[in-house]
Structure 1
């Protein structure tokens, strides 16, 4: 008995407890979002999402317990096969009848199975296995391509469904390979491209954006080529003057003239030092590529995306251009529901906007609105604090692992949860586009709940065997 008790004490019960608490809170929120006194029968009413969610919670716990029977070495060995199986399912689901415009589910009676939810766990396992292969060297280009190719393989298939939300989650794996030594320059380039793409969508006059880029690029050039800080201060001062002239009709001509002057100054500075002309040419080349990239982003968004996909982006970046009763309505109602909760909320089952179904997808994508309205700021803060505690616990587990496989897997779990948490809550308050990502353990959904259950169950199993696991 003592040996059995000692054996079970090796489990991370704090992490397990936090997970179970989040599951319980999730069920309460789903119940609150669908409860109507006149139609309520019993908790296991399978016509309601709260009834189905109890089944999914039970299934997730059973699967999590089943994972504990499997040896960790077997999990490591079978990771590539699990990844291949998931890729096959992601390909096969493309031939199923579309639901809400997307072919993302296999129909099983009255239930639906979404392979993209389970693909995150399989990708995390396969990536951890790849990064810990004896011959793998992240510093070499061919191995960098292997890691990126593994991550993008499911992304391409998921994008064909199409399911942009699930694709976005795979950014988490780029954080994992960064932890493994992937070149930081790639991330700087990616962030720069993302920033430029977003900026180009936020202005009507793309040429004005490009002129602004010329201005900024030449500020950097002046700082590099002129050691005297007064050059930079003078340039910033002139930029501030132009900012206050923003509403004037002559703003863009003035900016063009000033940018051209900065280019001339850069060229003159290049005459003083050998080799600076190459830097000038590189600077202008980057600007030319920026112009082409900016035009490409605008074309892709406004010409290639479907109208409802365009609306999701415009609601985020250009809400003034959206119909208040159309795409903007969902986000506005979401923010109203959260704000109406105040500090302490209206009370459990007392949410008016929840009861009257003002917010769409109340029990799935926008479940956080129920928490905000019924439990207020304090309830929302508590929920986010529980998630934060779980994330910090997972990072702690990652650092204490003895095997690199378990360590990289644990980092993947933490980053996946963080992406879901940030994007889901962010879209309910208008910080990110509405792209349909569930809130882990809180949103209704069998595939989501079971996949997160397996994801964490494998982590707890790897941590349980950390003292005997292979290196």
Structure 2
């Protein structure tokens, strides 16, 4: 019989090196952001009060946590303690609503002895463990509605509590758990449904619901044409023709509802043809998509115009329809960030020579817009190195996930990968105007002790589970 120690693998150094590269890159960028013209000097106490000094302290705390996890805490602790840790993280989210400190109009922080801690970051780790525990129990049954609902509620509960703070950016990150649910058996059609819902919601904000109804009716008729058992080309020509005509008439008329009526009648004819051919699945799917899409579009438009605050509307407009907006208003952060990144050119201006960075032209460049510091100081080559570093880390985590012998470890690894991926995608997209500015930090690099600690612990637990992957 082989002992547990003999089965134990060594730490995955590739993951650790990639982690170290991203953390050290972040410290270098923070060092450049607030560096005085004559340098930091020799005063250690003063240095600790700078962004890079505070981040360095949190890094030491995070590495201490890494040491404890890998040397003193047994692997079984994370398996058996997954639900208690998750419940504790939810309790913290409730407590911060009652006793937390308000920063930037959000009650998201605890403040103790001069340190601030954001429980929403820890909740991501707790949700990772809980999802792993749940999916390791119900892997073969995730296609059943009750189990899908339970899995969604595990991450929806902390996401909902975080929305109440309000911190919609952090709450959005929890949707990344759909990735691990899909890996463990969630039907792909539900991801398609989610993507369709998100698309109709965004389009409902930027376009008239009436116009969207016309377009959706036309699109569904075109799709039904490909399922026509006879005379497909005729049905396709009819669907495209009536759709283009409908869009043209909508642009010409002040009231678009007559066009909607004509399009609806045409859709009814197409659906009736499929019903006569007993293609009921196509008819039901098309009708369901139509009703749901129109409903979401109207709700999105109504919510945007009647419930969102002015600054929230401006942030969404700056993302989805920036044309004509005041560049000194909601567009200011994005414009300055783009100028900083573009100004770096191929090789960058130098870590301490970036004008936009040195003179603080980019707001929140220590946190949300740290990527603009990389772009200006290190140029395209530096930007490419950081992005490739993140992609390499995500690739390596997926490798670790697929070599696990236990569902718990595999699901946990994909949970971590999903969170890092969404953070990276949204944060880098924010700095280039491709995503809304919703306050999501860049993992390992943005200033923020809670974020750095949470991501470090997530990686540390992952490597701990990987070291014991061969144990029975």
Q: Which residue of 2 aligns with 1:159?
A: 163
1:284-303 alignment, distance < 5 Å = 284=287, 286-303=289-306
Matched, 1:104 2:117: no
Asked whether the equivalents of residues 354 and 376 of structure 2 are also in contact (C-alpha less than 8 Å), the reply is yes
Q: Which residue of 1 aligns with 2:61?
A: 59
1:352-363 alignment, distance < 5 Å = 352-363=355-366
Q: Which residue of 1 aligns with 2:51?
A: 49
Matched, 1:142 2:146: yes
- 1:158 partner SS: helix
Gaps of at least 5 residues in structure 2 are: none
4+ residue runs over 6 A deviation: 5-9
Asked whether the equivalents of residues 221 and 239 of structure 2 are also in contact (C-alpha less than 8 Å), the reply is no
Matched, 1:11 2:15: no
- 1:467 partner SS: coil
Q: Label 1:218 to 1:380 Cα distance change in 2 as closer, same or farther (>3 A).
A: same
Q: CA deviation at 1:420?
A: 0.7
Q: CA deviation at 1:78?
A: 0.9
Q: Which residue of 2 aligns with 1:208?
A: 211
1:333-348 alignment, distance < 5 Å = 333-348=336-351
Cα root mean square deviation, aligned: 2.7
Q: Which residue of 2 aligns with 1:24?
A: 24
Count of residue pairs the alignment pairs up: 463
Asked whether the equivalents of residues 226 and 269 of structure 1 are also in contact (C-alpha less than 8 Å), the reply is no
User: Which one of 428, 436, 440 corresponds to residue 437 of structure 1?
Assistant: 440
Q: CA deviation at 1:314?
A: 1.1
Q: Label 1:23 to 1:282 Cα distance change in 2 as closer, same or farther (>3 A).
A: closer
TM-score if structure 2 supplies the norm length? 0.91
**Structure 2: distance between partners of 1:43 and 1:182:** 56
**Structure 1: distance between partners of 2:259 and 2:229:** 21
**Further displaced range: 34-43 or 427-436:** 34-43
Q: CA deviation at 1:75?
A: 1.4
Matched, 1:263 2:267: yes
Q: CA deviation at 1:222?
A: 2.9
**Structure 2: distance between partners of 1:221 and 1:384:** 41
Asked whether the equivalents of residues 246 and 263 of structure 2 are also in contact (C-alpha less than 8 Å), the reply is no
Asked whether the equivalents of residues 124 and 409 of structure 1 are also in contact (C-alpha less than 8 Å), the reply is yes
Residue by residue, what CA displacement relative to the aligned partner does 1:325-369 show, whole Å, maximum 9, x if unpaired?
111111111111111111111112110001111111011110000
Matched, 1:424 2:405: no
User: Which one of 123, 126, 143 corresponds to residue 127 of structure 2?
Assistant: 123
Q: CA deviation at 1:257?
A: 7.7
**Further displaced range: 130-139 or 234-243:** 234-243
User: Which one of 222, 226, 229 corresponds to residue 223 of structure 1?
Assistant: 226
Residue by residue, what CA displacement relative to the aligned partner does 1:44-68 show, whole Å, maximum 9, x if unpaired?
4133101111111111111111111
Asked whether the equivalents of residues 43 and 51 of structure 1 are also in contact (C-alpha less than 8 Å), the reply is no
Q: CA deviation at 1:287?
A: 2.9
Q: Which residue of 1 aligns with 2:462?
A: 459
**Structure 1: distance between partners of 2:262 and 2:327:** 40
Asked whether the equivalents of residues 9 and 467 of structure 2 are also in contact (C-alpha less than 8 Å), the reply is no
TM-score if structure 1 supplies the norm length? 0.91
Q: Label 1:274 to 1:140 Cα distance change in 2 as closer, same or farther (>3 A).
A: closer
Residue by residue, what CA displacement relative to the aligned partner does 1:207-249 show, whole Å, maximum 9, x if unpaired?
1121111111222233323533312552465379659958962
**Further displaced range: 234-243 or 35-44:** 234-243
**Further displaced range: 89-98 or 235-244:** 235-244
**Structure 2: distance between partners of 1:85 and 1:25:** 32
Residue by residue, what CA displacement relative to the aligned partner does 1:157-189 show, whole Å, maximum 9, x if unpaired?
111111111111111111111111112222211
1:160-199 alignment, distance < 5 Å = 160-199=164-203
**Further displaced range: 187-196 or 241-250:** 241-250
Asked whether the equivalents of residues 43 and 50 of structure 1 are also in contact (C-alpha less than 8 Å), the reply is no
